[in-house]
Structure 1
Amino acid sequence: MKTTRLHDKILIFMMIAGIALSLFCFIKGDRDKDQDHHIKGKNEKMEHTKYSGVDIITNTDDEETYRSAIHYPKFQGERLNREIGQYVKSTEQKFHEELGKGDQTFLKKRPAVFYLTFDIYPVMDHIYSIVFHEESYYGGANGNQRVKVFIVDVENDQFINQTEMIQNTEQAKEKLYHLLLNAFKQSKQYGPFLFEEELENKMKQDGAYANMYLTNQSFVFIFDKYEVTAGAAGTPEISLSYDQVKNILTEKWADRLSIIPDKPEDLTVPNGDRGKESPSNPPAEKPSSPPSKRVALTFDDGPHPQNTLKILNLLKKYEAKATFFMLGSRVDFYPDITKKIAEEGHELGNHTWDHKDLTTLNSAEIRKEIRDTNEMIKKTTGREPTVFRPPYGAINDQVKRMAGMPVVLWTVDTLDWQSHDPHAMLQIVKKNVKDGSIILMHDIHESTAEAVEPVLKYLKDEGYTFVTVSELEQH
């Protein structure tokens, strides 16, 4: 009898211990999951691009006191990645150091923002100019804007120094200064804001060529905000054609650049010749009579090389049209995906070039964000975007005036960027959708692509017809 009771006690003890151990593992696993989720939000997310040997890494963060969006290239070579990585890390550290000095209570009301974006310009086979744009704003104060240029040879894992391109003579330096001065004076955009003395001093410095980059048509000099112009000019860029600088190039680079065709196509020059436009695709035909229940699906921040294609296939399966609010920088990276969006009859929307909060920018900067994106979308698809959505939904009177097209926000936010949970997204739609709703999603997230079919099926079963936002406004 005693043995039986002892055996029972041992069993009970083991059961209690097992339950305690399971509970401990569950709690620890849940904590680990939370930690993994926190870390995952800051991990690198790599995507392939149209440029040979160049991928793109994106890292976004939306916290209580700040928002950040960091984009940078990844190469196959260790040296290129190491030095680019060090630059990216140092800029992010500087931002967080300044952020720590700010009034945290105020920052919760008006979060700081940090953007690190880049443009890529093909020069010739396996040689690219990488132009970083760094911008930070602390609680509504005047923003800091800086540029950083790297010219890379991806095949040989090397950086190219700009000083080896221009002759190291006083005559060459003087010639270059006067070329830039004349170009500034002829520029309606930058001329009124030029400080001639500052430009002359800048071009006499040892690092005068540090922010010079090449396209396959020209040499471009980009200057920091306030460096040689008043702040209203933003970060001015002055282009000098190969023909203009041919007499001051080193022999090595004169030889290298002579192999480039006279009229190469350069898809990435923001304000340059965009080339011939392809024939416009006709808009989707309007239904003969408006259905009783209509809903507009919208996708922001793309295109994405995998997720957008999945979403397009699902939209085709459910005979649905949607509106894609695209970033100009991503249209440049993924032109084939953008063309497919247009070819399948979806509405093209402008979401700025690289997702900046427009309410923190001046009029020239806002105009450039919108204009460059319009031009890139039209160059890629042959069609102008017809609607505009400001990043973060941040809007003021100045942004409205400068948009140049209808400004469209949303009525149902799936919070896909936050939850990354397809089931949660569907529940939000079920709870909030009604006739005339505009649903916000982001086609850069894999979890959103997974949520699209359940959302489409539910809405179709509920009798909704899928239209673009412009079609929605027409009825």
Structure 2
Amino acid sequence: MRQKLVYFVLPIMLILGIVLFFVFSSNDSDSDTSEKQGAKETETEQSAYPGVNIITEVLEEEAYHLAIHYPEFDDEQLNKKMNDYVSKSKQEFLQEVEDTEELSQGHNASFYLSFDIYPVVENVYSIVFTKESFFGGANGMQISKIFIPDIENNQFIDQKNIVKDTEESREEIYQKLLHAFKNDEAYSPFFFEEELQKWIDDENNTFSNVYLTDESIIFKFDKYEVTAGVAGFPEIAIPLVEMQDLLTDKWKERLDVPDQTAEDSEPPKPNEEQGLEQEVPAGKKRVALTFDDGPHPSNTQEILKLLDEHQAKATFFMLGNRAVFYPDIVKEVAAKGHEIGNHTWSHKDLTTLSNEEIREEFQQTDDVILSVLGVSPTAFRPPYGAINDQVTDVIGIPSTLWTIDTLDWKSHDPDQVLSIVKENVQDGSIILMHDIHATTVEAVELVLDYLEAEGYAFVTVSDIN
């Protein structure tokens, strides 16, 4: 009987051993990948656009940093095409990092994948990706990619179905673009007419660089494609009313130019209505709480509630590519009397960019916040605290850094954040946190309680400086 039991148990143990081998092998592989990739953070948020969420992935490594933003839809078929593009782009960058022997320790390589979204008609959007990678120098790869999803019919729209493609229509498009480039003060000094001619004559040109808004059709060119590199990614917007004869019958019928209407109401102007100046009793210690990388659709609002409870003011250094998604939150921050700062458009290391790219990162964010609030940001903070004389000269205003880095993005531990504050805070401290993390909301409550008990007044960075 014992012998039969051995014969029965041994095969089971053998099978179990094989299964466990593969399980642990798989876990080891995952562990190696995790160690190689470092701490990765992925977050999904609702956007202000129906049917569109935003996925953010941030990966910090000694040799590189990576920041990816892309949309998520309700339909898996739409998501698959988007995810395939994002995954391929990411893997190409990581492979290049692996193949680049010159990379030393430190953030010598960077990868940014961001997108802008433009409503066209109901359930149709233009998604415009910008993909940029840098490997230790100022120059890097920069290209764009356009998707036009129809989320009602769960399909992507091909640009060749929007724009007529005949010899006559191509010539007319060429003439419109030629006229626009020559009359654009920013582009005309760097425009290559012969390259535009090559582009329009290319039989493989399917107008994949075209996207729509509710008012215009935009031709977006890659860097160096039809202009010198200093011109960046040139865009020519032609109003739909001027493109009617160049659109296919289906899209001529589907598109409509919206009426130009006035804003429903004037947005609050913090400098006029609320004011950023605070009266702090003489001799009282002051501290400035600052929050980077927002706004966030829920975390920022939770932090605002906590600040209200303590009658505290703070400074929010916002990314333009997030502020444009959450204008109501931008308004709420300002209406409560907090200071809004410019943290660039897409969180790039400005010291790796050209003058024109630095200016664009700053100005795009300034323009968005100005359009929402009616006033520009009152402070500026460079991503990663990366600053040099070139950045300072181009931006033209002082940079606001910090004296205490809570490392909330790294630890995600509210108690550890509080511990760092306790060990380092003094009169005039500027504390760095990030309102995009849920754990930071918990940390803010602890920090506010502690600093209030220690007799600190909460002011903005402009009050400190």
- DSSP 3-state at the match of 2:59: strand
1:96 corresponds to which of 94, 97, 104: 94
Match of 1:425 in 2: 417
Distance 2:280 2:95 in 1: 59
Unpaired stretches in structure 2, ≥5 consecutive residues: 1-27
Asked whether the 8 Å contact 1:60–1:68 carries over to 2, the reply is yes
Aligned-partner residue type, residue 241 of structure 1: P
Letter in 1 for 2:303: I
Output the amino acid matched with 1:375: D
Match of 2:216 in 1: 218
Amino acid at match of 1:371: Q
- Equivalent-residue separation in structure 2 for 1:356 and 1:362 (angstroms): 12
- State the TM-score, normalizing by the size of structure 2: 0.89
Q: 8 Å contact 2:418–2:447 — kept in the other structure? A: yes
Is it true that 1:67 corresponds to 2:56 in the alignment? no
Determine which of 364, 374, 379 is the counterpart of 2:371: 379
Contact 1:414 1:428 in 2 (8 A): yes
Would the aligned equivalents of 1:112 and 1:139 in 2 still touch at CA under 8 Å? yes
Are 2:291 and 2:316, in contact at CA under 8 Å, matched by a contact in 1?
yes
Counterpart CA distance in 2 for 1:417 and 1:322 is 18
Deviation of 1:291 after TM superposition, in Å, equals: 4.1
Task: Tell me the amino acid that sits aligned with residue 269 of structure 2.
Answer: S
Q: Mapping of 1:122-271 within 5 angstroms?
A: 122-140=119-137, 142-205=139-202, 206-258=204-256, 260-263=257-260
Distance 1:95 1:36 in 2: 16
Structure 1 position 346, deviation (Å): 0.2
1:278 paired residue number: 267
The 8 Å contact of residues 116 and 135 in structure 1, kept in 2 or not, is answered as yes
Identical pairs, percent: 52
Which residue identity does 1:446 align to in structure 2? Answer: A
How far apart are residue 442 of structure 1 and its match? 0.3
**CA drift at 1:110:** 4.8
Compared CA separation, residues 347 and 138, structure 1 to 2 (3 A): same
Match of 2:328 among 336, 342, 345: 336
Map of 1:52 onto structure 2: 50
The answer on whether the counterparts of 2:319 and 2:345 sit within 8 Å (CA) in structure 1 is yes
Task: Find 2:295's aligned residue among 295, 303, 327.
Answer: 303
Partner residue of 2:312 out of 314, 320, 337: 320
Contact 1:386 1:405 in 2 (8 A): no
Task: Tell me how far apart the structure 2 counterparts of residues 173 and 123 of structure 1 sit (CA, whole Å).
Answer: 23
What do residues 16-64 of structure 1 show as CA deviations (whole Å, max 9, x unaligned)? xxxxxxxxxxxxxxx9998998799446411001100000000001100
TM normalised by structure 1 equals 0.87
Find the residue that maps to 2:44 and give its secondary structure.
strand
Identify the residue that residue 77 of structure 2 maps to in structure 1: 79
Compare 277-286 and 361-370 and name the one that shifted more.
277-286
Q: 1:242 to 1:363 in 2, by over 3 A?
A: same
* Counterpart Cα distance in 1 of 2:363 and 2:34: 37
Task: Specify whether residues 133 and 207 from structure 1 end up closer, same or farther in structure 2 by C-alpha distance, changes over 3 A only.
Answer: same
3-state DSSP class of the match of 2:267?
Answer: coil
Secondary structure of 1:113's aligned partner: strand
CA separation in 2, counterparts of 1:421 and 1:366? Answer: 34
Q: Deviations over 1:394-451 (max 9, x none)?
A: 1111211222433100000000111111111111001111111100000001111110
CA distance in 1, matches of 2:55, 2:282: 43
**CA displacement 1:240-286 (0-9 Å, x = unmatched):** 1112212211111111113x423279xxxxxxxx9996352321343
Letter in 1 for 2:238: L
Asked if structure 2 preserves the Cα contact closer than 8 Å seen for 1:41 and 1:59, the reply is no
Which blocks of at least 5 consecutive residues in structure 1 are unaligned? 1-30, 266-273
How many pairs were matched up?
433
